[in-house]
Structure 1
């Protein structure tokens, strides 16, 4: 009986344990008070007039174990991904929908993306399903130009 209890405890412990990874990106300066000036780029875009649509969905158990759904995502600057254990799930599904839209259209970016989201709960909220449909105009970058004007002048011109 004692061995059975020990095996059950070990099995539950292994079932509840998991692995994870964290990836953060950012700009690095050698000193804390060093100003960072980035080069300003202008892109020429080839925008397709036809809209692209893609759907993604994921199902989570207890709010953090993904048991079904998409597992390929696109990483975008300022994607607004939440750091909350429960709040970032819909953002992950949005990222998966964006990945599918970019892959099917062979685009570099989606212009004016629109997200339609749906959340359903089952078994008193123990299981949640998130569905996202993204639509927008696909665009390919045809050329990049570096702007040689100082940053302050460029910002001033943009604001005018």
Structure 2
């Protein structure tokens, strides 16, 4: 066989193959954790709420298809949860996983009328084909309504 045909075949296999991962978050802090603050908030915890987000990206930068357009702002998901995206991710707002988490949280909050999501857990399904990636994120938690902040 011609070396060009072999090289083209290997390149095609690499581009067309991919991998799929599923991850679910859980609390990493024990329940005896302490937070000290001068601010006191009265938060009423209600029923379970959830929200979903899914979209595809090209090169983890270009969003394809019917992408979400509304997000929760001011929430830090942390690099340990797999959404840092490195330097490019920090420039572009945390990368596609953080974007999907933020869109799912927005949906949960707006659909339920909550002020915050209490004890959120994110379920992330990612299929990665090197240049093309699909993300499905679901958040579940409890409806938190802030009654007062002092």
Separation in structure 2 between the aligned mates of residue 120 and residue 77 of structure 1, nearest angstrom? 25
Q: Where does residue 64 of structure 1 map in the other structure?
A: 61
111-120 vs 61-70, greater mean Cα deviation: 61-70
2:138 aligned with 1:133:
yes
Q: 2:84 pairs with 59, 82, 85, which one?
A: 82
Instruction: Give 1:79 deviation, angstroms.
Output: 3.0
Aligned runs of 1:34-113 on 2, under 5 Å?
40-48=38-46, 50-68=47-65, 69-80=67-78, 82=84, 84=86, 85=88, 88-113=95-120
Instruction: Give 1:78 deviation, angstroms.
Output: 3.0
Cα gap change, 1:140 to 1:79, in 2 (>3 Å) = same
Q: Where does residue 126 of structure 2 map in the other structure?
A: 119
Which consecutive residues of structure 1, in runs of 5 or more, have no partner in the other structure? 1-38, 146-160
Separation in structure 2 between the aligned mates of residue 77 and residue 55 of structure 1, nearest angstrom? 17
Query: TM-score if structure 1 supplies the norm length?
Result: 0.59
Query: TM-score if structure 2 supplies the norm length?
Result: 0.63
Question: What is the CA RMSD across the aligned residues, in angstroms?
Answer: 1.9
Instruction: Give 1:77 deviation, angstroms.
Output: 4.0
Q: Name the SS of the counterpart of 2:106 in structure 1.
A: helix
Q: Name the SS of the counterpart of 2:39 in structure 1.
A: strand
Instruction: Give 1:66 deviation, angstroms.
Output: 0.6
Answer with 1 or 2: which has the greater Rg.
Answer: 1
Q: Relative CO higher for 1 or 2, CA cutoff 8 Å, sep ≥ 6?
A: 2
Please list every run of at least 4 consecutive aligned residues from structure 1 whose deviation after the TM superposition is greater than 6 angstroms.
none
Q: Name the SS of the counterpart of 2:107 in structure 1.
A: helix
Would the aligned equivalents of 2:60 and 2:95 in 1 still touch at CA under 8 Å? no
Which consecutive residues of structure 2, in runs of 5 or more, have no partner in the other structure? 1-36
Instruction: Give 1:83 deviation, angstroms.
Output: 5.6
**Count of residue correspondences:** 104
